[in-house]
Structure 1
């Protein structure tokens, strides 16, 4: 992997005290490379894993021309035999899994079911609701403009041709992908090994759930938030608890985390005024930079790589405030972990909706306001802020259903203006 400092040295406008979100993400992307471990799994066990190789179809899908619906198969040329209705003799029936044994001749049709192989001599299917059955079921009549030649026929290989890539490497496998592989007869698939992610919170004031809260202490919520966000990424979790503000304890925690995980995530200890030895330990163990991101919330952040005992891990030092942890995770860590696991994932999508109220904003930083998207009085979607936007107000995250994203150069928003929203559905 390229060193962090070598990547930073190529940034002509690099300023660690006011780093734009886009530039920080570009640096992270340049530093991180995917893990190399690969394992082979039965497709039932591969859900949410990252595909290591392209899955190539060994068959045509569908394997034969077949009917897209229940109806009657015939030669499309019969539609041009005159001005009146088309009248065809029914010569047999084709079922899915039981093909018609014979050939439809001129003036004949074959009763056909959805998915059945198209009989020889047929290239068109008229849906059964468009025909009039006559002569005790031995004859059908329909208007020639009820269908066009070639309609309602699925062609061999139109979904997938033999030798075509059905799924590309880097894809995070979905339930539909498992079904697709099964339809191709794939039994096992090669995937990237699961990432191992260690995480812990720092601070003497933090207490775990179940412990007594002494004066000035708070329960540690960040580990539970991180646990939930990481679970969504299907990584192997290593929860190291709360680490006290003690240099020896802190260094031991970083070393242990580095030796057992691919990535280490901490919350707290990277802000101005935090204990200096936390940053000193991070820097001493590896190639780490300390940034003040031009964003709100979530300004302080550390990123780099640390090493111990012959092992190396990517480090993300996140702020201590609960909302800032979530904002920085989704804007930096999530994408970086996807890259580390070898996944080809697009940036989180945004929608454009109108703002129900004015929002103050000064240019020069990206802001993530917690918002609630809902239909307005006219039925059109609009978004309003949840109220107090302090980075320690975790309740506002629970109430919100999306981030209102105000980009770096954007100014204040008037009521009725369109704004970008990153929806939480499937995210938090």
Structure 2
């Protein structure tokens, strides 16, 4: 257990990430109603239980006929006897004979003996309402053998793997599962992330704000970022700077997959997260060699006999958000089943000089602007860790490595992209 009276050696960002990420794995599987499976990763292969489509069917409204009866209709009009109608919901029991046709709707089963479908626009018959059909039809324009017929199994054949385990379920894949009659599906469950803010100085929006207090932006931005990453945020009440209150809230989070606290990890008389972690679990580290976001806690708590990991983010809004992007968002993606968990980085030309005087990795808020195939990175004027407007402005974080003392205006830099 770490001695809180000794300033710990700061860890590089990559080492801290490795230490944290190694403690987590993909979560277990659960059955979900198909309509609620969107955005999950599939926990099993989906195999086609039947051909899709199940039957040869018409690709359009028209008349099913024999190709040999109509192949010469461009030389002379061909008249066919109409012997029935097949709707999209019907199964055809008719065996088509020479000189006959059947009125057919899109999706209707192709009757035995038919090998082409003539669109009604190529005949003297217009659309017919309901179950009515003409007694005969004149074909004005020829079609090719097999035209406008969708073969059974054209999409998927019985026994074929339709969706592979680990597939991200987007709208089309949910639709495919529904087309196979599936109403419940096995998926990787989404992580429950409890989020809590500490401090006598903060109050929730909508509550009365007393002198000296500020509205809690961190709780809402971090909870929203958790939801954006696919986690399920469990938002706790703002906790006053009292150890008993903090312990009570932590105990209520025993069913969480991760606890994220905001504030209380820097050096201060009322920074209690460290003390509570010592009492309820083990502390792994306290400082990261980065800016913004140097103070960061990672601990393991024993809550009601269950081991729950906890990450303590710094209280300044920018620091909290940058640390979330580097340490918490990747964890959520890993627990959900993603193989790639870190943000994409691209090269961009920066428009201002960046000084690095303390050998920390700096994450500079920038706006990426694309010019043809290249990017420019426009630096936000005020890089203070309390400036919320810089996060609204930025769609990327330009990276200045620890061993780089200066990045000059016009230099190419790595920029971690942000989705928003």
Same fold (TM over 0.5): yes
SS state at 1:141 partner = coil
> Residue 41 of structure 2 contacts residue 188 of structure 2 at CA under 8 Å; is this kept in 1?
yes
- What residue is the counterpart of 2:132 in the other structure? none
SS state at 1:259 partner = coil
- What residue is the counterpart of 1:240 in the other structure? 237
- What residue is the counterpart of 2:156 in the other structure? 160
When residues 103 and 297 of structure 1 are mapped into structure 2, their CA distance, relative to the original with a 3 A threshold, is farther
> Residue 334 of structure 2 contacts residue 341 of structure 2 at CA under 8 Å; is this kept in 1?
no
1:187, distance to aligned residue in structure 2 (A)? 3.0
Superposed counterparts of 1:96-135, under 5 Å: 96-102=88-94, 112-121=104-113, 131=122
When residues 195 and 417 of structure 1 are mapped into structure 2, their CA distance, relative to the original with a 3 A threshold, is closer
CA offset digits 1:248-307 (Å, max 9, x no partner): 5444544x1553423110112334668676334324533442254455433433234221
* Structure-1 separation of matches of 2:286 and 2:367: 27
What is the aligned-residue RMSD (CA, Å)?
4.7
- What residue is the counterpart of 1:31 in the other structure? 23
- What residue is the counterpart of 1:62 in the other structure? 53
Correspondence for 1:320 among 307, 315, 320 = 315
Structure with larger Rg = 2
When residues 271 and 150 of structure 1 are mapped into structure 2, their CA distance, relative to the original with a 3 A threshold, is farther
Structure 1 residue runs without a partner (length 5+):
1-14
Superposed counterparts of 1:12-411, under 5 Å: 17-21=10-14, 23-36=15-28, 38=30, 40-48=31-39, 51-70=42-61, 92=82, 94-102=86-94, 112-121=104-113, 131=122, 137-142=137-142, 153-169=149-165, 173-191=169-187, 195-209=191-205, 210-215=207-212, 217-232=213-228, 233=230, 235=232, 237-244=234-241, 246-254=242-250, 256-271=251-266, 278-290=273-285, 292-293=287-288, 295-340=290-335, 342-344=336-338, 346-347=340-341, 350=344, 357-358=351-352, 360=354, 365=361, 367=363, 369-371=365-367, 384-400=378-394, 402-406=395-399
* Structure-1 separation of matches of 2:115 and 2:21: 52
SS state at 2:329 partner = helix
1:212, distance to aligned residue in structure 2 (A)? 3.7
* Structure-2 separation of matches of 1:56 and 1:113: 29
> Residue 396 of structure 2 contacts residue 417 of structure 2 at CA under 8 Å; is this kept in 1?
yes
* Structure-2 separation of matches of 1:37 and 1:184: 21
* Structure-1 separation of matches of 2:397 and 2:69: 60
> Residue 352 of structure 1 contacts residue 420 of structure 1 at CA under 8 Å; is this kept in 2?
yes
Q: What is the number of equivalent residue pairs in this alignment?
A: 396
* Structure-2 separation of matches of 1:352 and 1:112: 55
When residues 274 and 17 of structure 1 are mapped into structure 2, their CA distance, relative to the original with a 3 A threshold, is farther
Structure 2 residue runs without a partner (length 5+):
1-7, 126-135
* Structure-2 separation of matches of 1:47 and 1:191: 10
SS state at 1:298 partner = coil
When residues 365 and 102 of structure 1 are mapped into structure 2, their CA distance, relative to the original with a 3 A threshold, is farther
SS state at 1:138 partner = strand
TM-score by length of 1: 0.70
